[in-house]
Each structure stands twice: as C-alpha cells, then as structure tokens.
C-alpha cells in the first residue's frame, strides 16, 4: 500500500508539473526532465514515501526474519575466526643445507 500510495503521489505531481509547462517543439527535453526530477526530489515526497515503505515492509520482518539470519552469520564468522586463532601455524620448513653456499669462482 505504501508503494502504491507513493507511486500515485509521484504520478500526480508529474502530471501537475507537466500541465504547468507550455510545450513547444524547441524545448530541450533533457532540461525539462532534469527540472522535473529536481522538483520531485526537492518536494521530499520520495524520501517520506520510501520511509513509509520501509516501515510497512522491512520493519515487520526485521526481528523475526532478518535478525536471526544476521546473528547466525555473525556467529559463524566469529567461530571461524576463533578456529583460525586456536590452530597453531605449522613451523616454517628448515633449509636442507645449513652451510652457506661457497662463493663461485669464475675461470675466466
């Protein structure tokens, strides 16, 4: 319902805005479109409408759908982190030849 309400408000706003414009073929359509877009944004109706959509759609699902999934993902991540910390890293391999290499002598 909030989405349908917002869509109807925007449609009415656009219709009213365009009714006030006197059309002629020399008009720059991009300027007209950008002016309309700015008017819609400045009216604040989109921001308020999106807030209503979130409160009607997202908020009711937040605690019983999204929150448990977020908590499960966090617990799995933390468990993986803890596992990585508790497993000691294997010691670095020892070099096979402990003597430093002899300097090469060129026969030139």
pLDDT, tens digit (0-9, with 9 covering 90-100), for 39-87: 999 999 999 999 998 888 888 888 888 889 999 999 999 999 888 877 6
Which SS3 state, helix, strand or coil, does residue 93 take?
Answer: coil
- Provide the pLDDT confidence category of residue 104 given band limits of 50, 70 and 90: low
Reported pTM: 0.52
Q: Write down the domain spans for the chain.
A: 1-83
**Average pLDDT, whole number, for the chain?**
83
State the Cα–Cα distance between residues 9 and 50, nearest whole angstrom: 12
Contact by Cβ (8 Å): 5, 50: no
3-state DSSP assignment of residue 25:
coil
């Amino acid at each position: 319902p909030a989405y349908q309400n917002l869509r109807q408000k925007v449609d009415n706003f656009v219709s009213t805005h365009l009714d006030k414009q006197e059309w002629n073929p020399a008009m720059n359509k991009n300027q007209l479109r950008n002016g309309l877009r700015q008017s819609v944004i400045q009216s604040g109706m989109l921001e308020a409408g999106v807030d209503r959509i979130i409160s009607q759609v997202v908020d009711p699902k937040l605690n019983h759908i999204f929150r448990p999934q977020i908590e499960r993902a966090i617990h799995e991540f933390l468990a993986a982190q803890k596992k990585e910390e508790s497993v000691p890293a294997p010691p670095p391999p020892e070099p096979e030849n402990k003597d430093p290499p002899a300097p090469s002598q060129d026969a030139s």
